[in-house]
Structure formats: structure tokens, C-alpha cells
């Protein structure tokens, strides 16, 4: 009757959708964070460059 | 340049670690005798939560150092580590919830450990909101340091929650006195993934601190411009 407890967690439930969901969610979350940090850094560096250029121009 | 080299080395090592972790978690470690295949989620859930504890410990230490020395670098590390800790805690709670559905029969229960971990997440979401709301960077850093120190005090409560209260969550199997209750093959998978997530934390921290330093630089330039 049903799958082996060692395969299904003992509840007759297919565990693989849960396993894949957990790992995919973590992968997406970590990648999104990495992208967010990279984008924010790029934007910040661009603003710093603009301000430096602006202050140089006003010094002249 | 050393920062860039370190960042690249940590990134490469983290990717190697994560690939090795996936191999050990899915192919090397056997399925659990009681829980079956679904226990493989623990190779994700446990390292994520342990590294988040470490991230909040870093917030705790660097916040004390900031209050003592008023050094921007300590605040940059504290702020960055808090953000990464929030990410890792949120993912650990989500992974635990997904594991709980086929194992406990529920996505969520107000168990002592789950509740105290959620409180930790909310405290540090509050920390990030506070940092975003205060305009004056040195005042924001001071308020953040105080909240970071108080917030970390929840971590030992989370750890002891399974001892102090009768909970559905199982007792500690890694950070515990005495020999480990984890089978040797499973320990290999667990510790490989733990090492991979420590490296990933280091990589994220170096990247995020660079962003924080750029933010301080931008604030300084704006203040110079306004003066």
C-alpha cells in the first residue's frame, strides 16, 4: 500500500516537488539579492562619478 | 584591488562549494530512515539558519565596536551583515515551511522555535527600515547599533527554545554538547553545505560592504557640495 516510508516521508506524499520548490526558491532568492546589490552599487558609483565631475566643473 | 581579488576568490569558492554541496546532498547522502527523501531540504535549511545566526553575531560585534570607536567601517559591516542575515533567515524559514508540509502535515505552526525565529526576522527587518528612515547617517548608525545588539539577544533564545519549551521542532543536532546525532554520510553533506554557505555569506558581505562604502562616499560628496 503506497510508497516506501523512506521515499515518501512516511505520509504517502511525493517529496520531490517540495524538495525542488525549496531549492529553487533559495536559488532565486540568492540570485535576486546578488543582482540587487550589483545594480545598487552601479547606480551609486555612477552618482559619485557625476557629483565628482560636477564639483570639478564648478571649481573651474 | 585586494578587495576585488578577495571578492572574486570568495565567489569562485562559494560556487564550487554550492555545487559540491548539491552533489553531497542529493547523491552522496542516503535518504533519511524516517523522513525519507524530503530530509534533503535540511542540507539547505540548517546551513541557511546557522549562517544567519553568524551574520547576526557579526552585527552584534561590529555594532559594539561602532559604539566604542565610531568607525564607519564597523557600521558598514554591521549594516551589510544584517541585510544578508535577513535574506538567509527568510529563506531558512521558507525552506523549513516547505519541509514541514509533508513531514508535520502543516506549512506553519506557532512552535517556540518557529515563533522566536520569526521574531528575529522581524527585529532585523525593523533594523533595515530604521536604517533607511533616518537621514543623518551617523544617527542612523548609532540607532542601528543599539537595535543590532538588542536584536542579537534573540539568537540564544532561539537556540534554547527547544530545551526550555516543549516544541514540535526537533532538538539541536549540530550546535549541541556531546556527540552528533547525525549519521556520518549525512554529516559530510551537512558540513559541505555549511562551508558553502559560509563562503557565500563572505562573498555577499564583501560585495555589500563595497556598496555601503560607496553610500558613505556619496553622502560625504553631497555634504561637501552643500557646504
- Answer yes or no: is pLDDT of A3 > 50: no
For chain A, first and last CA: distance in Å? 85
Q: Per-residue confidence at A60, pLDDT binned at 50, 70, 90? A: low
Is B200 within a domain? yes
Is B23 within a domain? no
Is B176 within a domain? no
Q: Per-residue confidence at A2, pLDDT binned at 50, 70, 90? A: very low
Whole-number pLDDT of residue A59: 67
Is B210 within a domain? yes
Q: Per-residue confidence at A10, pLDDT binned at 50, 70, 90? A: low
> CB-based contacts of A27: which residues, under 8 Å, 6+ apart?
none
Instruction: Tell me which residue in B37, B207, B218 faces A19 most closely, judged by beta carbons.
Output: B37
Structural domain including B136 reads 44-168+184-226
Beta bridge partners of B32: B36
Is B47 within 8 Å of B190 (Cβ atoms)? yes
Q: Which three cell numbers stand for residue B35?
A: 523522513
Whole-number pLDDT of residue B82: 98
Number of domains in chain B: 1
Q: Identify the residue with better confidence: A30 or B216.
A: A30
The dihedrals phi and psi of B185, each to the nearest 5 degrees, come to -65, -35
Cβ–Cβ contacts within 10 Å for residue B180, how many? 13
- The Cα–Cα gap between B42 and B37 comes to 10
Cβ pair B36:A23 closer than 8 A: no
At B90, is the secondary structure helix, strand, or coil? helix
* A31 at interface of B, judged by CB pairs closer than 8 A: no
Cβ pair B36:A25 closer than 8 A: no
Cβ pair B95:A51 closer than 8 A: no
Q: Per-residue confidence at A13, pLDDT binned at 50, 70, 90? A: confident
Preferred mutation among A13, A26, A37 to probe B, highest tally of B CBs within 10 A: A26
Q: Which residue numbers in chain B have pLDDT < 50?
A: none
Q: What is the mean pLDDT of residues A8-32?
A: 89
Is B155 within a domain? yes
- The Cα–Cα gap between B153 and A39 comes to 33
Cβ pair B33:A16 closer than 8 A: no
- The Cα–Cα gap between B143 and B137 comes to 10
> Quick one: closest CA in A to B223, which residue?
A51
Whole-number pLDDT of residue A34: 97
Is B63 within a domain? yes
A22-59 burial string, b = 16+ CB within 10 Å, else e? bbebbeebbeebbeebeeebeebeebbeebeeeeeeee
DSSP, res B169: S
- Answer yes or no: is pLDDT of A4 > 70: no
Rg (CA), chain B: 19
Is B182 within 8 Å of A11 (Cβ atoms)? no
Amino acid at each position: 500500500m503506497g510508497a516506501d516510508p523512506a521515499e515518501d516521508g512516511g505520509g504517502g506524499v511525493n517529496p520531490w516537488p517540495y524538495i525542488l520548490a525549496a531549492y529553487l526558491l533559495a536559488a532565486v532568492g540568492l540570485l535576486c539579492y546578488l543582482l540587487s546589490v550589483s545594480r545598487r552599487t552601479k547606480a551609486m558609483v555612477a552618482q559619485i562619478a557625476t557629483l565628482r565631475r560636477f564639483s570639478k566643473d564648478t571649481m573651474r | 584591488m585586494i578587495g576585488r581579488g578577495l571578492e572574486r576568490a570568495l565567489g569562485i569558492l562559494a560556487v564550487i562549494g554550492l555545487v559540491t554541496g548539491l552533489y553531497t546532498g542529493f547523491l552522496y547522502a542516503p535518504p533519511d530512515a524516517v523522513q525519507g527523501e524530503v530530509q534533503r531540504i535540511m542540507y539547505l535549511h540548517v546551513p541557511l539558519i546557522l549562517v544567519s545566526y553568524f551574520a547576526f553575531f557579526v552585527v552584534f560585534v561590529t555594532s559594539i565596536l561602532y559604539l566604542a570607536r565610531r568607525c564607519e567601517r564597523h557600521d558598514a559591516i554591521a549594516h551589510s551583515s544584517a541585510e544578508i542575515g535577513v535574506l538567509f533567515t527568510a529563506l531558512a524559514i521558507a525552506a523549513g515551511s516547505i519541509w514541514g508540509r509533508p513531514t508535520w502535515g502543516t506549512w506553519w505552526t506557532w512552535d517556540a522555535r518557529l515563533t522566536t525565529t520569526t521574531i528575529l526576522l522581524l527585529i532585523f527587518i525593523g533594523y533595515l527600515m530604521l536604517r533607511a528612515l533616518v537621514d543623518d547617517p551617523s544617527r542612523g548608525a548609532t540607532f542601528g547599533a543599539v537595535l543590532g545588539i538588542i536584536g542579537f539577544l534573540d539568537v540564544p533564545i532561539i537556540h534554547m527554545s527547544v530545551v526550555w519549551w516543549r516544541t514540535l521542532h526537533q532538538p539541536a543536532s549540530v550546535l549541541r554538547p556531546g556527540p552528533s546525532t547525525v549519521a556520518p554520510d549525512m554529516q559530510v553533506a551537512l558540513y559541505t553545505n555549511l562551508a558553502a554557505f559560509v563562503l557565500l555569506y563572505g562573498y555577499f558581505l564583501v560585495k555589500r560592504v563595497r556598496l555601503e562604502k560607496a553610500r558613505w562616499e556619496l553622502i560625504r560628496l553631497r555634504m561637501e557640495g552643500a557646504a
